[in-house]
Amino acid sequence: MVGLPTVRSCSLPGLALLLALASATPDVTCTSRSLLQKHSDVGAAAGALQAAAYSAVDVAIVGAGYAGLSIARELQKANVSFRLFEARHRIGGRILDEDLNKQGKADDVIELGGQWLHDTHTGVLSLLKDLGFELYEPGQQLGSQKFPCGGNCPERVSTSRGWLNTSSMHGRMVVPMTMEESTAFEEALAAVTEDISNTPCTEPLSHPKAKLFDSLSYSAYLREYHKLDAFPNVYSKVADQCLEAEAAKNVSALHCLWKASCNGGLRTGSVQYRVRGGPQAPLQHLAAQLPHAALHLDAAVSAIKQSKEHRALKVLVTNTSEEVLARHVVLAGLPPRQILGIQFEPNLPEEVVQLLHGLSLGSIRKYSLVYKTPWWRAKGYSGSLRYVNYSLPSFDAQRCFDNSPYSGSHGVLTCMTTGDVNRGLESLSKEARFETLQAMVQEALGPPGKEDRSPRVVEKDWSEDARSGGANVFYSPGAFASSWPGTSKVFFHHLLDKSIWIAGADYSSTSHGYMDGAVRTGQAVAKLLVQKLRAS
Ligand X SMILES: Cc1cc2nc3c(=O)[nH]c(=O)nc-3n(C[C@H](O)[C@H](O)[C@H](O)COP(=O)(O)OP(=O)(O)OC[C@H]3O[C@@H](n4cnc5c(N)ncnc54)[C@H](O)[C@@H]3O)c2cc1C
Q: Is 512 exposed, middle or buried (0-12, 13-18, 19+ CB in 10 A)?
A: buried
If one asks whether residue 510 binds ligand X (CB under 6 A), the answer comes out as no
Secondary structure of residue 487 in the 3-state scheme:
helix
If one asks whether residue 472 binds ligand X (CB under 6 A), the answer comes out as yes
Report d(CA 391, CA 240) in Å as an integer.
17
If one asks whether residue 94 binds ligand X (CB under 6 A), the answer comes out as yes
Residue 270 forms beta bridges with which residues?
Answer: none
Residue type, 307: S
Sign (positive or negative) of CA dihedral 217, 223, 224, 229: negative
Q: How many residues bind ligand X (CB under 6 A)?
A: 39
If one asks whether residue 123 binds ligand X (CB under 6 A), the answer comes out as no
248: closest CA among 220, 281, 271?
A: 220
Beta strands 312-317 and 500-503 are: unpaired
If one asks whether residue 411 binds ligand X (CB under 6 A), the answer comes out as no
Contact 392, 372 (CB under 8 A): no
The alpha carbon of 53 is separated from its chain's Cα centroid by a whole number of angstroms, namely: 34
If one asks whether residue 423 binds ligand X (CB under 6 A), the answer comes out as no
Among positions 302-361, residues that touch ligand X (CB under 6 A) are: 332-334, 338, 342
Beta strands 312-317 and 274-275 are: unpaired
Out of 471, 479, 490, 526, name the contact with ligand X by CB under 6 A. 471
By beta carbon distance, the residue nearest ligand X is 93
If one asks whether residue 95 binds ligand X (CB under 6 A), the answer comes out as yes
If one asks whether residue 199 binds ligand X (CB under 6 A), the answer comes out as no
Q: Is 87 annotated as a binding residue?
A: yes
Out of 61, 62, 313, 353, name the contact with ligand X by CB under 6 A. 62
Q: How many CB atoms lie within 10 A of CB 174?
A: 15
Span interacting with ligand X, options 58-66, 71-79, 255-263, 385-393, rule CB under 6 A: 58-66
Report d(CA 175, CA 237) in Å as an integer.
8
Of residues 218 and 273, the one with the C-beta less far from ligand X: 273
If one asks whether residue 65 binds ligand X (CB under 6 A), the answer comes out as yes
Out of 87, 330, 413, 437, name the contact with ligand X by CB under 6 A. 87
Give least dist CB 120 to ligand X, A: 11
Out of 514, 524, 526, 529, name the contact with ligand X by CB under 6 A. 514
If one asks whether residue 518 binds ligand X (CB under 6 A), the answer comes out as yes
If one asks whether residue 420 binds ligand X (CB under 6 A), the answer comes out as no
Categorise residue 532: left if φ over 0, alpha if ψ from -120 to 50, beta otherwise. Answer: alpha
If one asks whether residue 505 binds ligand X (CB under 6 A), the answer comes out as yes
Name the strand (E) or helix (H) holding 435. Answer: helix 430-445
* Site residues, ligand X (CB under 6 A): 62-68, 85-88, 93-95, 113-116, 300-301, 332-334, 338, 342, 364, 366, 462, 467-468, 471-472, 504-505, 513-516, 518
- Residues that constitute the known binding site: 86-87, 301
